[in-house]
Amino acid sequence: MALVLHAGKTNKNGYKSLIAAEYSGVKVELVPEFEMGVSNKTPEFLKMNPIGKVPVLETPEGPIFESNAIARYVTRLKADNPLCGSSPIDRARIEQWIDFSSLEIGANIAFWYLPRIGRAVYIAPAEEAAISALKRALGALNTHLASNTFLVGHSVTLADITMTCTLSIGYTILMPKSFTSEFPHLERYFWTMVNQPNFKKVMGDVKQTDATPPVVKKPAQQKEAAAKPKKDEPKKKEPKREPAKPKPEPADDEEEAPKPKPKNPLDLLPPSKMVLDDWKRLYSNTKSNFREVAIKGFWDMYDPEGYSLWFCNYKYNEENTVTFVTMNKVGGFLQRMDLARKYAFGKMLVTGDNPPYRVQGLWLFRGPEIPQFVMDECYDMELYDWKKVDISDEAQKERVNQMIEDAEPFEGETLVDAKCFK
């Protein structure tokens, strides 16, 4: 009996075993005319998997369900299959990434996607948590891929197959380019993998979605919402008996009016003579005589009552032993600071002649203190020690100048990298 896979032709979890079969020289046939929601509800299918999930692999020894288990089975049919790894540590790492793809990436893609299409209740804070967890996982994967072509070793393994199939769900239905471009090494990896001949034979041409799908209310929720006013009608009749009380309605309106987004507290500060965009423009456009033009211009504009300057120093510099990992760490911090772009300017420097490298920075914030919403929402902030600049101290003022202009050497050390937030 041949191996028969019960799944639709476009089932991305089914792709895992089909791609593994291509690499392993194992023949796996798809059930013809499989229809999701119909074929997987038949008594015959439910005997193979009582909860009706796909894919299911029919083998001479009996059925197997769960896509990762099926892919492992197909791969192990070939003796000494390189897809399985050649050493105990490689095999463990392959299993590690298979689990990671399911638990950290696949699960959070589902938590984000299913409520948007009405297959689960949509709760905005829950979606934010899912997106945050997904970004954290993709960031970790991106860091690993910065120095690795494949997840384990120097060739395709089952880890790459399962990871790519899981990622393809996100790429094709949920994560547009504006989302994935934050992870350049992951981008390179994904598009390299889906264009491998054995992947392409199964998956065809993979096209990234142009946009995240909008939230769709479940029909049941819409009916309930429409029905609610009818239930409340008896209660609405009571106020009509008291015509002498017209004031509550305007009061209610006044309470509901501020529903549009509350203003950022920084927008409520007294006007400042310093216009942040003017400084950013001067910084970007100054190509020569930087000290005489940009630095002098900065201090001419600077308003110590409307803005504050801060030095930051990474608390765990002893960890910074690899340059590209250190620079990726700084890049991730700047990306997560995007929420403060309207209110801040920053310079981040990586310095050192040898590892460990030092990460330190200079930040200009609107207001006399670091904005509370930045401290609350950007978790990187707690990874740094923060010290307010005393502009009456000429040494500190000169340090500000050197950080703005990327002075090299900086404080006696080689300037490995400098990044600007503007």
Contacts of 382 by beta carbon, 8 Å cutoff, 6+ apart: 375
pLDDT at position 20, please? 96
Q: Encode pLDDT of 29-75 as tens digits.
A: 999 889 988 999 999 999 999 999 999 999 999 999 999 999 999 99
pLDDT at position 339, please? 86
pLDDT at position 319, please? 86
| CA dist., res. 121 & res. 399, Å (int) | 52
Q: Encode pLDDT of 146-177 as tens digits.
A: 999 999 999 999 999 999 999 999 999 999 99
Contacts of 244 by beta carbon, 8 Å cutoff, 6+ apart: none
Average pLDDT over residues 342-362: 95
| CA dist., res. 382 & res. 372, Å (int) | 12
For residue 144, CA distances in Å to 137, 148, 149, 152 come to 11, 6, 9, 10
| CA dist., res. 60 & res. 27, Å (int) | 13
pLDDT at position 338, please? 87
Three-point CA angle 103, 105, 107, nearest 5°: 55
Burial class for 277, CB neighbours closer than 10 Å (0-12, 13-18, 19+): exposed
- Domains belonging to the chain, first-starting first, are 3-76 (3.40.30.10), 85-203 (1.20.1050.10), 276-421 (3.30.70.1010)
| CA dist., res. 328 & res. 326, Å (int) | 5
Q: Encode pLDDT of 224-267 as tens digits.
A: 445 555 444 455 444 555 555 444 444 333 334 445 567 889 99
Count of helix runs (H) and strand runs (E) in the chain = 18, 9
Q: Encode pLDDT of 135-145 as tens digits.
A: 999 999 999 99
Arithmetic mean of pLDDT over the chain: 89
Three-point CA angle 235, 238, 239, nearest 5°: 115
Amino acid at 230: K
| CA dist., res. 226 & res. 243, Å (int) | 28
| CA dist., res. 109 & res. 167, Å (int) | 9
Helix axes of 67-76 and 158-173: crossing angle, nearest 10 degrees: 140
| CA dist., res. 314 & res. 330, Å (int) | 10
Confidence of residue 323 (pLDDT cuts 50, 70, 90): confident
Average pLDDT over residues 116-125: 90
Lowest mean pLDDT among 69-73, 214-218, 341-345, 395-399: 214-218
